[in-house]
Amino acid sequence: LEATALSPDFREAVALRRDAPVPLPGDGDLLVRNRFVGINASDINYSAGRYDASVKPPFDVGFEGVGDVVALGLSASAHFSVGQAVAYIKAGSFAEYTVVPAKEAVPLPSVKPEFLTLMVSGATAYISLKELGELSEGRKVLVTAAAGGTGQFAVQLAKRAKCHVIGTCSSDEKGGFLKSIGCDRAINYKTENVESVLRKHYPEGVDVVYESVGGKMFDLAVNSLATKGRLIVIGFIAGYQSPTGLQPVKAEFLPAKLLKKSASIRGFFLNHYLSEYKMALKHLLEMYEKGELVCEVDLGDMSPEGKFIGLESVFRAVDYMYMGKNIGKIVVELPHSVNSKL
């Protein structure tokens, strides 16, 4: 998949190329045949050109993949071999084959979509809460979009830190999922007033907010902070499809609100924390292997047109995310092509 124009409308920005040659790995590279690729809210920010103004279309899209090594360069063969399962984060994963520098590839015990949930979504929750959340026993943690790709990990990691966790979601089915992974109070914002629930049950406010929605939810979260509370901005998905990528917030009162509570707002962008990444991923993989972490994958089984299979279904998968239908991380399966070029 290639961005051929810059637009917050993914279908408008991105085209499927059927004639692309299989890329060749260099000396320190792996050629990975992708078996599963992850969908991220930021895919549409990337194809809208919001991350790097110097990048002009056409460019490859997709951030993360899991697959098998099918070819590799000489120096890469010191650490990897053909047939090995690997995961990676690199622009250009929405493709049948992606060249990945060996030093950036993560060896895996097998090719499973669950491992993909940890690469961006799990690592974002792990590192942001560790570095910025200052979690400790008994703290009240509010996770917005809690049943989504990264929210599911924020809930579980905050519970592991012995916090009391509140999660917002958009359906009772998602609320049930949240309870199953340890969330103490799931709030379905379609049927309950989030502000009233928080005011009634948490009059002192919440200590940490893991916030990825933006707009009105951001304002509500700021108002719900406890004294010395911390709000971590992970994203603002409510605005990504708009021309500016933002929904307005009531920021003019922000200095007064923060001062009154000695509260703080911290932004988190995974690329700035890559020094922590390997350690975080190692720990997440260990927890998953021991059965201590649920890695919920949504392959689109419940979507109107069925499972997300093949590159052409990436478009549907992005739409599905923005309709707020997913439980867990949205993943697209790329079956082994019978007429593979390799």
Which residue shows structure tokens 């007429």?
Answer: 339
> With left for phi above 0 and alpha for psi between -120 and 50, is residue 262 left, alpha or beta?
left
Do 148 and 78 belong to one domain?
no
Distances (CA, A) of 135 to 126, 142, 160, 162, 198: 11, 12, 10, 9, 20
Banded model confidence at residue 186, pLDDT cuts 50, 70, 90: very high
For residue 338, pLDDT beyond 80: no
Structure tokens at 166: 């509140």
List the one residue out of 149, 160, 157 whose CA is nearest residue 120. 149
Do 47 and 31 belong to one domain?
yes
Query: Rounded to whole angstroms, how far apart are CA atoms 10 and 124?
Result: 23
Do 267 and 147 belong to one domain?
yes
27-54 average pLDDT score: 95
Please, what is the angle between helix 215-223 and helix 194-201, to 10°? 10
Number of domain units in the chain: 2
Banded model confidence at residue 341, pLDDT cuts 50, 70, 90: low
CATH assignment at residue 187 = 3.40.50.720
State the distance between the two ends of the chain, measured CA to CA, in whole angstroms.
Answer: 18
Banded model confidence at residue 336, pLDDT cuts 50, 70, 90: confident
> What tens digit of pLDDT does each residue of 129-184 get?
999 999 999 999 999 999 999 999 999 999 999 999 999 999 999 999 999 999 99
> What tens digit of pLDDT does each residue of 107-125 get?
999 999 999 999 999 999 9
Q: Phi then psi for 266, rounded to 5 degrees?
A: -125, 135
Query: Rounded to whole angstroms, how far apart are CA atoms 1 and 106?
Result: 23
Could you tell me if 166 and 142 are in contact, meaning their C-beta atoms sit under 8 angstroms apart? yes
Mean pLDDT of the chain: 96
Do 141 and 166 belong to one domain?
yes
Range of the domain at 39: 2-111+296-333
Do 246 and 140 belong to one domain?
yes
- The confidence score (pLDDT) of residue 52 equals 85
Do 14 and 103 belong to one domain?
yes
The amino acid present at 322, given as its one-letter code, is Y
| 239 within some domain | yes
- The confidence score (pLDDT) of residue 339 equals 59
| 276 within some domain | no
